[in-house]
């Protein structure tokens, strides 16, 4: 018996009205792909079924996610061969009882874990086609927001954890990140025009190169109808005023993942405060160091990206400035000026004192760059203990990636302290006192196992 959904009842005009597709597009798809498959009346007019209309909606949804129509048809045909009925809509859970709700949620989570694992495995094999196919199948089953957060973002977090523990190479991590960013960029381009008033600028502060979170935020907000301008990585402070004048935003959103790039965020925040433009911000570093939020004049977006879009919408409804809750002391400001004036001389002294058989030149250069940026950021933000937390992560990375014994990190810190005492003047006292206390509290800033566990916890959640 033919079901009502398979009965051919709708003429071409009804399908055009229901789907928004043009008649020429319907005929072209039918000619090229055999989809949809209407029947002909004796007079030659096309008649379509409800299943045809559902299929067209499904194809349109895949196109809106950035998939070419040929790939969407190919995916639908393959899924059709593997199932008793073709997929015509994202998976929707509609439990009737509490037990049904638990069972369906478990199924929902199980499928997501499977798709996430498939995507990770494909990325680690450098299999672009398999990775893209897995994402396309995920978008066919779930809403785009669920796929962004539970497949792509959590997948990247797991790959990042593998890199930290030296089980995943830099090339594998970069390959996965590039695939994820390319997919998000394609979807961003495919979003419809904005339907809500007010413009939002979204990007990264100076020297911040991690663009996944701001790009994902841009996409989530555009799907909600907001006019977002995505600025990308490493937004310079110097041209910010001209950008604001050209775009006239109601809100600027920036994300920083590292302590060093929080310094650039602070500089941008101060410019925005003078321009009377509200700032919203987030990033992993603010989840690791919640006290850091007090130093930024802006609105914190929260620890998880799922809630960030709602926070931004609330700010757009009532834009307002937010001053910093804490400013650095005079002693810290003086120490920052002294450190900036003597920084190059300090590093030269470290180069002179540090034995190359203890720390190779390449590693010493990287340590100086990373440590120096973090010291400058912590002084500007008002608390050198921010550097201590970052050193724990750095110590674990050195142990995992280069096999460097933890005591060598301690030797580097003691060498840096000696250089500070030799080169700097009295204004640097807060920094030298902190380094002195830090080196006396070693050994090794904590056990490597503890540090690896801490990093794993940080990376196991879909955070900003």
Query: DSSP characters for 375-424?
Result: HHHHHHHT-THHHHHHHHHHHHHHHHHH---HHHHHHHHHHHHHHHHHH-
Least confident of 93-107, 167-181, 282-296, 375-389: 93-107
Q: Where are the domains of the chain?
A: 4-82, 98-183, 196-317, 330-459
39 and 52 in contact (C-beta within 8 Å)?
Answer: no
27 and 60 in contact (C-beta within 8 Å)?
Answer: no
188 and 230 in contact (C-beta within 8 Å)?
Answer: yes
How large is the average pLDDT for residues 300-323?
90
Separation between Cα atoms, residue 393 and residue 163, nearest integer Å? 13
CB count within 10 Å of CB 211 equals: 22
More confident residue, 460 or 12: 12
Least confident of 51-55, 248-252, 269-273, 402-406: 402-406
- Among residues 66, 62, 92, 65, the alpha carbon closest in space to that of 75 is found at 62
pTM above 0.75, yes or no: no
Separation between Cα atoms, residue 95 and residue 102, nearest integer Å? 8
196-317, superfamily in CATH? Cobalamin-binding domain (3.40.50.280)
How large is the average pLDDT for residues 336-350?
96
Whether 94 has a pLDDT exceeding 60, the answer reads: no
Selected from 1.10.260.40, 3.30.230.10, 1.10.1660.10, 1.10.10.1200, the CATH number assigned to the domain covering 4-82 reads 1.10.1660.10
- How confident is residue 2, by pLDDT bands cut at 50, 70 and 90? very low
pLDDT at 89: 46
Whether 22 has a pLDDT exceeding 90, the answer reads: no
Report the CATH fold assignment for 330-459: Globin-like (1.10.490)
Q: Is 462 helix (H, G, I), strand (E, B) or coil?
A: coil
198 and 171 in contact (C-beta within 8 Å)?
Answer: no
Report the CATH fold assignment for 98-183: 1.10.1240
Whether 461 has a pLDDT exceeding 60, the answer reads: no
More confident residue, 147 or 454: 147
Backbone angles phi, psi at 11, to 5 degrees: -85, 175
The percent of residues in the chain predicted with pLDDT above 70, rounded, is: 84
How large is the average pLDDT for residues 22-47?
85
> What's the Cα-to-Cα distance from 54 to each of 17, 29, 60, 64, 245, rounded to whole Å?
13, 15, 10, 15, 46
Domains 98-183 and 196-317 share a fold: no
- How confident is residue 455, by pLDDT bands cut at 50, 70 and 90? very low
CB count within 10 Å of CB 425 equals: 10
pLDDT at 304: 85
User: What confidence tens digit (pLDDT) does each residue in 153-212 have?
Assistant: 999 999 988 988 888 988 999 999 999 999 898 888 888 888 999 999 999 999 999 999
pLDDT at 107: 66
Backbone angles phi, psi at 298, to 5 degrees: 180, -175
334 and 382 in contact (C-beta within 8 Å)?
Answer: no
Separation between Cα atoms, residue 260 and residue 265, nearest integer Å? 9
> What's the Cα-to-Cα distance from 117 to each of 79, 125, 166, 204, rounded to whole Å?
19, 12, 19, 29
Average pLDDT, the chain: 83
Whether 345 has a pLDDT exceeding 50, the answer reads: yes
| Token pair recorded at residue 364 | 């010493």
- How confident is residue 249, by pLDDT bands cut at 50, 70 and 90? very high
Element (H, E) at 246: helix 240-247
- How confident is residue 394, by pLDDT bands cut at 50, 70 and 90? low
How large is the average pLDDT for residues 29-35?
87
| Token pair recorded at residue 388 | 């201590």
- How confident is residue 340, by pLDDT bands cut at 50, 70 and 90? very high
- How confident is residue 5, by pLDDT bands cut at 50, 70 and 90? low
pLDDT at 32: 87
Separation between Cα atoms, residue 76 and residue 87, nearest integer Å? 7
- How confident is residue 336, by pLDDT bands cut at 50, 70 and 90? very high
Least confident of 136-150, 273-287, 376-390: 136-150
Element (H, E) at 194: none
Whether 458 has a pLDDT exceeding 70, the answer reads: no
> What's the Cα-to-Cα distance from 382 to each of 12, 281, 293, 377, rounded to whole Å?
68, 18, 11, 9
SS3 breakdown of the chain: % helix, strand, coil, rounded to 5?
65, 5, 25
Whether 45 has a pLDDT exceeding 50, the answer reads: yes
415 and 353 in contact (C-beta within 8 Å)?
Answer: yes
pLDDT at 321: 94
Whether 105 has a pLDDT exceeding 70, the answer reads: no
> Beta strand 299-300 with 39-40: parallel, antiparallel or unpaired?
unpaired
More confident residue, 283 or 7: 283
Both ends of the chain: CA-CA distance in Å? Answer: 53
The sign of the CA dihedral 413, 414, 417, 419 is: negative
User: What confidence tens digit (pLDDT) does each residue in 285-307 have?
Assistant: 999 899 999 999 999 999 888 78
Whether 359 has a pLDDT exceeding 60, the answer reads: yes
Separation between Cα atoms, residue 32 and residue 341, nearest integer Å? 69
More confident residue, 51 or 201: 201
pLDDT at 60: 85
User: What confidence tens digit (pLDDT) does each residue in 398-436 have?
Assistant: 666 656 666 777 888 899 999 999 999 999 999 999 999
Tokens 């937010």 locate to: 322
């Amino acid at each position: 018996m033919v079901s009502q959904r398979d009965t051919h009842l709708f003429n071409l005009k009804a399908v055009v009205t229901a789907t928004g597709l043009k008649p020429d597009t319907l005929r072209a798809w039918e000619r090229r792909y055999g989809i949809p498959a209407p029947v002909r009346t004796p007079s030659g007019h096309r008649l379509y079924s409800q299943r045809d209309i559902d299929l067209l909606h499904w194809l349109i949804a895949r196109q809106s996610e950035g998939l070419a129509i040929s790939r969407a048809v190919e995916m639908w045909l393959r899924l059709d061969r593997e199932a008793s009925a073709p997929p015509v809509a994202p998976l929707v859970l509609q439990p009737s009882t509490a037990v049904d709700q638990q069972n369906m949620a478990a199924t929902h989570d199980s499928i997501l874990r499977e798709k996430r694992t498939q995507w990770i495995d494909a990325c680690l094999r450098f299999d672009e086609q398999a990775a893209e196919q897995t994402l396309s199948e995920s978008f066919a089953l779930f809403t785009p927001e669920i796929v962004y957060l539970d497949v792509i973002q959590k997948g990247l977090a797991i790959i990042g954890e593998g890199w930290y523990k030296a089980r995943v190479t830099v090339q594998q991590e970069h390959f996965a990140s590039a695939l994820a960013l390319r997919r998000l960029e394609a979807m961003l381009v495919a979003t419809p025009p904005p339907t809500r008033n007010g413009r939002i600028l979204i990007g990264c502060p100076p020297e911040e190169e991690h663009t996944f979170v701001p790009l994902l935020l841009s996409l989530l907000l555009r799907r909600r109808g907001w006019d977002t301008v995505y600025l990308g990585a490493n937004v310079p402070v110097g041209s910010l005023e001209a950008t604001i004048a050209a775009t006239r935003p109601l809100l600027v959103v920036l994300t920083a993942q590292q302590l060093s790039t929080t310094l650039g965020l602070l500089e941008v925040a101060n410019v925005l405060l003078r321009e009377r433009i509200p700032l919203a911000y987030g990033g992993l570093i603010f989840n690791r160091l919640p006290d850091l939020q007090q130093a930024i004049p802006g609105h914190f977006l929260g620890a998880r990206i799922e809630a960030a879009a709602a926070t931004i919408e609330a700010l757009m409804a009532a834009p307002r400035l937010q001053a910093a809750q804490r400013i650095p002391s005079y002693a810290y400001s003086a120490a920052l000026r002294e450190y900036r004036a003597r920084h190059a001389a300090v590093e030269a002294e470290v180069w002179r004192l540090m034995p190359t058989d203890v720390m190779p030149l390449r590693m010493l250069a990287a340590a100086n760059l990373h440590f120096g940026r973090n010291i400058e950021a912590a002084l500007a933000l008002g608390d050198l203990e921010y550097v201590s937390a970052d050193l724990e992560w750095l110590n674990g990375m050195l142990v995992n990636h280069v096999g460097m014994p933890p005591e060598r990190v301690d030797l580097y810190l003691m060498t840096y302290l000696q250089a500070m005492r030799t080169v700097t003047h009295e204004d640097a006292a807060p920094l030298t006192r902190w380094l002195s206390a830090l080196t006396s509290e070693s050994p090794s800033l904590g056990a490597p196992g503890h540090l690896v566990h801490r990093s794993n916890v940080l990376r196991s959640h879909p955070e900003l």
